[in-house]
Amino acid sequence: MDTRTLPSHFPPQTKKREQKFARFDFLPGDEDLIAQLPPEQQAALRAQGSYAQRAQEMGIAVGTVRSRLHRARAALVRLRAQGAPGTDPLH
């Protein structure tokens, strides 16, 4: 059996990247921060449902939804860190 594709054999940076946004909760002050993002990222964050449902609602490809969500979440984490020093930007 080839064990190179089992999760325990992924490089540490891959695990870290997967865990970074695995559970992403919105905080009370996030709406003001979301308003600072580009409109397409705002739309991706505000849309509801699965990637496929969001893609259909927005009229774009699933991969585009995924990349917009990733960029929007990363930007939101950065904005949180800039606006609230000393707080954990992921929670």
Question: Is the overall model pTM greater than 0.75, yes or no?
Answer: no
75: closest CA among 18, 21, 22? 21
What pLDDT score was predicted for residue 27? 84
Q: Does residue 57 belong to any structural domain of this protein?
A: yes
Give domain status of residue 43, yes or no.
yes
47 lies in a domain?
Answer: yes
Return the H-helix or E-strand segment holding 18. helix 12-20
User: Containing domain of residue 39, as a range?
Assistant: 27-83
Residue 11 is assigned to a structural domain of this protein: no
Domain assignment present for residue 15? The answer is no
Q: What single letter denotes the amino acid at residue 38? A: P
3-state helix, strand, coil in the chain (%, to 5): 60, 0, 40
Domain-located, residue 60: yes
Number of domains in the chain: 1
In tens digits, the chain (91 residues) has pLDDT values of 455 555 555 555 555 554 554 567 888 888 999 999 999 999 999 999 999 999 999 999 999 999 999 999 999 999 989 875 444 445 4
- CATH code (residue 50): 1.10.10.10
